[in-house]
Amino acid sequence: MKPSADTIKTFVRDLRNPKRHSSKIIWVLLVVLLIPIIIVIPEFVRPANIANVLIQMAPLGMVAIGQTYVILGGGIDLSVGSQISLISLIASTLMTDSPLNIIAVAALCLVCGVLFGALNGFILKLFPMPPIIVTLCTGYFFQGIAFALHKTSGGYIPVALKQVLTANSGFFSVPFGLYVLLFAIFAYVLYRTRFGRYVYALGGNADVLEKSGIRIDRIKIKTYMVSGLLCAIVGIYLAARLRSGSARYGDEYTLLSITATVVGGTSMAGGLGGLTGTFAGTILISMLTNVLNNIAFRYNLQSTYYKDIITGILLISAMYFYRNRK
Amino acid sequence: MLLEVKDIVKRFYGVTVLNKVNLGFAGGEVHALVGENGAGKSTLMKIIGGIYHADEGSVLVDKTAVKISNALDAAKLGISIVHQEYNLVPDMTVLENVMLGKEMTGRLKAIDKESSKAYVEEIARKDGIKVNLDKYAGDLSSAEAKVAEILRACTNSMRLLILDEPTAALDDDDVASLFSLIRNLKARNIGVIYISHRLDEVFHICDKVSVLKDGKHVGTWETGAIDRDFLVKAMVGREITAVFPPRPTTKREGTKKILCIEHLSDASHFQNVSLHVGQSEILGIGGMSGHGQRELLRALFGAGKITSGTISIEGKPVVVKHPADALKYGMAFLSDDRRNEGLAQTQSVERNIAYPSLNRYHRNGMVRTKVQHALVGDLIDRLGIKLASERQIVQNLSGGNQQRVVLAKWLPLNPRILLLDEPTLGVDVGAKVEIYKILRDLVSQGISIIMVTSDMLELLNISDRIIVFYEGSVSAEYPGEVATEEIIMAAASGKPMAIGGMV
């Protein structure tokens, strides 16, 4: 079917003036970026590399799911990186080779993650302060505990756990599969259930939500708990992948998860955007990271610095681009 | 009686806003509640709606005392409030807004959009409400937003609907459709409390009218039994105390115009405003709050954006795009938001006074503290600011003293025009007298003043000339000597009376 001139016109207009919850622009950007990337680095589209990108995007994607919940609810979680690090150390400190122990420690880590999130939420309920300050502080708090547990990376993770969590064959891999599963669950909750609706209303106009008889503090706390739970999953995964824990493993995920969310069209003010956009934002960041690594490898450069520069530029451009929406 | 309030008393920080108010509202009746700004109407409604709590007295529903601690309690009793301000989640659809907090869910806890829609459409049809349920609330016009809010109230099996200034942002057609909606509700035996400043609407749609004044219930009448003049008298009639300095007796006819504005408009608050102020004149701008006066004043000072029209000072056209421009042309501005815009709260009196004039008392960027000190001391004496020391922190001063500090900071710049927004807001009576004296004193030195105020007595007794705003335009202009509360009230509700050939 050939699109008529009119549909193209509306499509272009929507792109220039993004509407509400639309994440169209970011998908278009992805496709547009893919063309020069394929020309410059043909290796990018090799199946092995694509599979690699999918594995790499899984942890960021999971953290970004939680971050999207929090930002949609009008908050922000700057403590995600430290939560991930602390969980990785809790796991690596307590784990032994016994299967029962592995399961128990993993469960404990998930509970801790939820509790970390709840702590963020409760502090915000008890002492109403900007979430950016509160979570920055709790982030330092979590990281401090992590450093106290282990000054360098260390601990022990049984090889069996690594084998299970990093298993892959062809395009399928456990981390990406887990990400898709979690994404499906949390997208369903966000888009189809009452709780999801309340998250949007909380960020959009908390006053109205409260006057509708909803306890907004509880909704807010739950968004941080979702974030904490996902951080815990990522913490366990990173610990398993590297077979150790470290107070620094999670560092990069704080800014990256916010960038993935905002680039995906979720408004920093809350109430606007959604997980589909964040999904695209995650792909974009992972794609760029992979391309940078490829270029760095080819020219023997230090890719991490360039990645930081690009992340910063991306976040500012996205916030500027979306500023006038509505 | 569907709802009664008995001996309601409410105080804020020791100020009594409602004093033993007794009122009853019946089902199937549209009951207007009127009174001046600050009469206590909104406070009373917020008590009924569970947002505030009365210090004394009780609220009765069906003759039984009830405790309404929050909006949800009120909704359970069938009481819904449509507030004056916007109360929807902008990035959700009308349907989602209407069903917020009572979503219908089906399998796997998924929200059942089809049933919700059918349910809401059925209610809308029954009450004759027309609104597009799929539109985002942020895209609605003011009228549609009001209708959406009423629809939300209707889904709460409402018995009593409180409408707070529902027509403030509506045009005539929208008002007509709102009224037909109100009649439908009335026919279903729903009680309506209608708060409005527009008296013609009160006579048009309401069965009964109650007047509140200074927190007291003046009376309740059938709208058929009284007329407009009677109602206006009931709303305003009070004594004027001798807090105001006498006006100068000399004629000001023929004095030169200092500031002239012509056909000034901004994006949304005021349109096509033309006015002028003469030398040594106090021009008072009155009207109900929210009719564009405040925005006009801010635009004159460069704190708001002008879309068309011209400003000229002493005959020369000027462009004011930023407060710095306004200062250059000799204008000074006293904000109604003293806390945020008038003063640096945590700084000393001396520093606050010195900020605007720092440019003039420095040597190569270093503040000449001795000169500054002498200047500040002089101003403190001149305006009679009562202080323990110039180093005293501003936020610990009384409202009256704070306002004098704001005035003092502008005087070293020798302003020609003072723009005052609510100059005595939050100032007690004794200090008001002092501020009025200062204003008169400044005027006698050749300064011109434009003063926006919602204090009727202040407007009538301080202004040499009065302009009344209604819906963003000048509704009427009167000399200060002849204006009365009735005349101003009439002009402020869009029905100016002609007196002596002047409108």
Q: How far apart are CA A184 and CA A177, in angstroms?
A: 11
Nearest to B280 by CA among B461, B463, B447: B447
- Set of chain A residues whose Cβ sits within 8 Å of the Cβ of B75: 213
Q: What is the pLDDT of residue B361?
A: 78
- Residue A302 burial by CB count (10 A; 0-12/13-18/19+): exposed, middle or buried? exposed
- Binning chain A into helix, strand and coil, the percentages to the nearest 5 are 75, 0, 20
Q: Where does the pLDDT of residue B96 fall: very low under 50, low under 70, confident under 90, or very high at 90 and above? A: very high
Greatest mean pLDDT among A13-22, A86-95, B342-351, B460-469 lies in: A86-95
| B91 contacts A193? CB cut-off 8 A | no
Structure tokens at A93: 């400190």
Best residue in A21, A72, A212, A215 for a mutation probing chain B (most B CBs within 10 Å):
A212
Q: How far apart are CA A71 and CA A267, in angstroms?
A: 7
Contact B138 A326 (CB under 8 A): yes
* Neighbour-count burial for A306-323, b at 16+ CB within 10 Å, e otherwise: bbeebbeebbeebeebbe
- Does pLDDT of B240 surpass 50? no
Beta carbons of A271 and B89 less than 8 Å apart = yes
Q: What does the block give as tokens for A53?
A: 């990108």
Instruction: Tell me the C-alpha distance between A280 and B58, whole Å.
Output: 56
Q: Enter the tokens of residue B84.
A: 């004056």
Please answer yes or no on whether B87 and A207 come within 8 Å at the CB atom.
yes
CATH level 3 topology of B243-330+415-503: Rossmann fold (3.40.50)
At residue B163, what is the residue type? Answer: L
Q: Is B72 on the interface with A (CB under 8 A)?
A: yes
> Residue A324: what pLDDT?
65
Cβ contact B100–A201 (<8 Å): yes
Going by DSSP bridges, is the β-strand pair B417-421/B465-470 parallel, antiparallel, or unpaired? Answer: unpaired
Give per-residue pLDDT as tens, B244-258.
Answer: 777 776 655 567 889
Residue B170 has pLDDT above 80, yes or no: no
Residue in the block written with tokens 């509400």: A20
Q: Residue A188: its chain B contacts at CB < 8 A?
A: 108, 110
Of A204, A208, A213, which has the smallest distance from its Cβ to B72's Cβ?
A: A213
- Range B21-31 average pLDDT: 93
pLDDT in tens, chain A (326 residues): 556 777 777 777 666 655 677 778 888 889 999 999 999 888 899 999 999 999 999 999 999 999 999 999 999 999 999 999 999 999 999 999 999 999 999 999 999 999 999 999 999 999 989 999 999 999 999 999 999 998 888 899 999 999 999 999 988 999 999 999 999 999 999 999 999 999 999 999 998 898 888 899 999 999 999 999 999 999 999 999 999 999 999 999 999 999 999 999 999 999 999 999 999 999 999 999 998 888 888 888 776 778 888 888 988 888 888 876 64
Average pLDDT, chain B: 86
* Cα angle B276-B277-B281, degrees, rounded to a multiple of 5: 160
pLDDT at position B387: 81
Res B398 pLDDT > 90:
no
Q: Residues B68, B74: contact at Cβ < 8 Å?
A: yes
- Of the CATH numbers 3.40.50.300, 3.20.20.70, 3.60.21.10, 1.10.3480.10, which one belongs to the domain with range B3-236? 3.40.50.300
Q: What is the pLDDT of residue B341?
A: 86
Amino acid identity, residue B206?
Answer: C
Check whether B239 has a pLDDT greater than 70: no
Residue carrying structure tokens 């204090």: B455
d(CA A239, CA B391): 58
Domain boundaries, chain B: 3-236, 243-330+415-503, 343-413
Which tokens belong to B348?
């000393």
Residue scoring higher pLDDT (B470 or B365): B470
Output DSSP code: residue B109.
Answer: G
- What pLDDT is stored for residue B429 in this prediction? 62
Beta bridge partners of B334: B420
User: Which span out of A240-254, B209-223, B331-345 was modeled with the highest average pLDDT?
Assistant: A240-254
What is the identity of the amino acid at B289?
S
φ and ψ at B187, to 5 degrees? -60, -25
User: Is the pLDDT assigned to residue B95 strictly greater than 90?
Assistant: yes
Please give the ipTM for the structure prediction: 0.85
Amino acid at B282: I
pLDDT tens for each residue of B476-496: 999 888 888 888 888 888 888
Q: Using an 8 Å CB-CB cutoff, list chain A residues near B100.
A: 197, 201, 208-209, 212, 214
Which range (A151-165, A269-283, B6-20, B133-147) has the least confidence?
Answer: B6-20
Q: Please, are residues B103 and B93 in contact by the beta-carbon 8 Å criterion?
A: no
Residue count of chain A, please give it.
326
Q: Which residues pair with B367 in a beta bridge?
A: B362
For residue A106, CA distances in Å to A103, A180, B409 come to 5, 20, 65
Residues in A closer than 8 angstroms to B94, CB to CB, are none
The H or E element that residue B148 is part of is helix B142-154
Name chain B contacts of A207, Cβ cutoff 8 Å. 87
**What is the torsion angle, in degrees rounded to the nearest 10, for the CA atoms of residue B142, residue B147, residue B153 and residue B158?**
140
**The predicted structure's pLDDT at residue A228:** 98
Give the helix/strand (H/E) hosting A197. helix A194-211
Given this chain, do its domains B3-236 and B243-330+415-503 carry the same CATH topology? yes
β-pairing, B273-278 vs B257-266, is: antiparallel
Amino acid at B382: R
The interface residues of chain B toward chain A in range 119-148, judged by CB-CB distance below 8 A, are 136, 138
Which of A194, A214, A268, A325 to substitute to test the interface with B, most B CBs within 10 Å? Answer: A194
Q: What contacts 24+ positions apart, CB below 8 Å, involve B10-16? A: B10/B40, B10/B43, B10/B44, B10/B47, B10/B52, B10/B54, B10/B55, B10/B215, B11/B55, B16/B215
pLDDT of res. A40: 87
3-state SS assignment for residue A30: helix
Are A193 and B111 in contact (CB < 8 Å)? yes
Cβ-Cβ contacts under 8 Å between A and B: the total is 69
> Out of B91, B100, B136, whose CB is closest to A209?
B100
Q: pLDDT tens-digit profile of B29-44?
A: 999 998 876 678 888 9
DSSP notation for A144-167: HHHHHH-SSSB----HHHHHHHT-
Q: Identify whether the C-beta of residue B438 lies closer than 8 Å to the C-beta of residue B379.
A: no
Q: Which residue has the tokens 């959406």?
A: B148
List the single range of A216-225, B201-210, B385-394, B400-409 with lowest mean pLDDT: B385-394
Question: What does DSSP assign to residue B339?
Answer: I
Domain edges within chain A: 55-251
User: Nearest-CA residue of chain A relative to B102?
Assistant: A212
CA distance B371 to chain A (A): 42
